[in-house]
Amino acid sequence: MSCAQRLARLNLTWDRIWQRTAVQLASGLVLLTSLSPLHAQTYRLPDLGSSAETLLSSGAEVRLGQVFMRRVREALPVLDEPLLTDYIESLGQTLVSADRAAAGRFTFFVIDQPVVNAFAGPGGHIGVYAGLILAAETESELAAVIAHEIAHVTQRHLLRGLEDQSKISVPAMALMIAAAILGAQVSPDAGAAAMVGVQAAALQRQINFTRENEHEADRLGITTLAKAGFDPYAMAGFFERLSKSSRIAAYSAPEFLRTHPVNSNRIAEALGRADDFGARQHPDSLRFHLARAALRERSYKRPEQAVAHFRDTLREGRHRSSIAEHYGYALALTRAGQLEAARAALTTAMQAHVSVPEFVVLEARLDHAQGQSERAVQHLAQAVGLSPSHWPLRVAYAEALLHAGRPKQAMDELSAVARLRPGNPMLYDKLEQAAFRAGQQAATHRFRAEKLYAEGDREPAIRQLEIALRQRDLPYHEAAQIQARLEMWQAEEREAKRRERE
């Protein structure tokens, strides 16, 4: 059997495993759980990256990336907050623009978990955990990790890893990937005997390949970091700080160190590579500090805890940006229902930064909460007029329109954003709400279908489209669009079932 055939069969096996299992993707979907006869040990597959053209076509890679993201959404709490998403996308695209090898589309997203880690997936999908953003003391440190993950994608480490493993039998390869995907759900006893048989030949080869990947990603990531104007020493500095913290707290080492093993040699090599570029001062952007403040506020389950945190840090001066700290304080007070105090904190933050989108959106939230919905609409309309390409402002404007009782206008605004950002469940969820309030039943079912499909639930999505087509007074052009979408999804479903029978 050829390598391409083996990979095709592997992809089918992979897809079936994902479809039948509610997966908890531990450690950024890159852990390989290997079981020895005496105890469990944890190893890692290479970070999922884009593939070699000889093994997987660009179209197949895109489809694999789409499936990958649906499974990520099933297993992990992807944070669809527009402002935070926009920040991590902007930072990621700045780095992509500085990397000549970074061809094609990249998608950056935040996972709402306090894990210090990041991962790269097929099709250029790069996930960054909230815990990593909070652990990064400078924007250059955060950029260093993202640049590292971009290098995993550009160097096609996933397919290079699978090509290396194609020398091993397909069942062994499938077993290793299944263990990696299932992660912590694999019982310490289940499959141990089977894994022992492939450990010596396959696992050691995998570990060596992983080390090569990590060093290559470091080297190229530092180059990208420097070309983008960030501090090239940030990668080594971040690695060293995480390593020191893990030695102090041996039982709470960051996940980044588990999935990206760091030793003194790796740190020394990163420092040597940075020496080629020299030190560069890169002041942190305000958005970096605002993102960290927003994530810090979200990290507290109870609003009074968040209020106490920001009150204390402001009083004691324990912060890097007083503006961002007042913003976090305003967010916490808003969640606690202390609206006047929240507005006062926001006013302090806005003194020299009136047009910052984060502040404009929060001010509109406060207006709505205090019964001034029309004022929120007016302020957001002005902001969108000044920055029409800023999609988080447009989403906030649509929400304000919805709150003000203008669902049809909200639908129009959200539809325009969805055309630019297809496949986003959050946008389809808001469109469904707007269509329902506008009394448009067909559109309600259609947007519900798009949300379900984006989340990987194809069968119920098909049923929603069928319901949409049965609605009365459905305009011809809308019916034609829904019918075309329905036929495409039905064909996908038939193909998936055919592959399951093979």
Which positions are catalytic?
149, 218
Which stretch of DSSP H or E encloses residue 439?
A: none
What does each C-alpha distance from 462 to 15, 129, 419, 426, 489 come to in angstroms? 19, 32, 20, 19, 7
Alpha helices in 43-184 (DSSP H): 58-75, 82-97, 130-135, 139-154, 157-165, 170-182
Backbone angles phi, psi at 471, to 5 degrees: -75, 145
Find out whether 72 and 180 touch, Cβ atoms under 8 Å: no
What does each C-alpha distance from 29 to 57, 91, 121, 147, 382 come to in angstroms? 23, 22, 9, 18, 42
Cα distance between residue 20 and residue 419, in whole Å = 31
C-alpha 153: how far from chain center: 15
Residue pointed to by tokens 């959050």? 426
Pull the structure tokens for residue 85.
Answer: 């998403």
Cα distance between residue 381 and residue 367, in whole Å = 14
* Binding site residue list for Zn(2+): 148, 152, 214
Sheet bearing 125-129, strands edge to edge: 78-79, 107-111, 125-129, 118-121
Cα distance between residue 297 and residue 330, in whole Å = 10
Find out whether 158 and 48 touch, Cβ atoms under 8 Å: yes
Residue pointed to by tokens 């297809």? 422
Sign of CA dihedral 160, 161, 163, 167: positive
Cα distance between residue 220 and residue 148, in whole Å = 7
Cα distance between residue 58 and residue 66, in whole Å = 12
Find out whether 42 and 93 touch, Cβ atoms under 8 Å: no
Write out 285-308 in H/E/C secondary structure: CHHHHHHHHHHHHHCCCCHHHHHH
Backbone angles phi, psi at 342, to 5 degrees: -65, -40
Cα distance between residue 445 and residue 448, in whole Å = 5
Cα distance between residue 177 and residue 32, in whole Å = 7
Cα distance between residue 134 and residue 114, in whole Å = 8
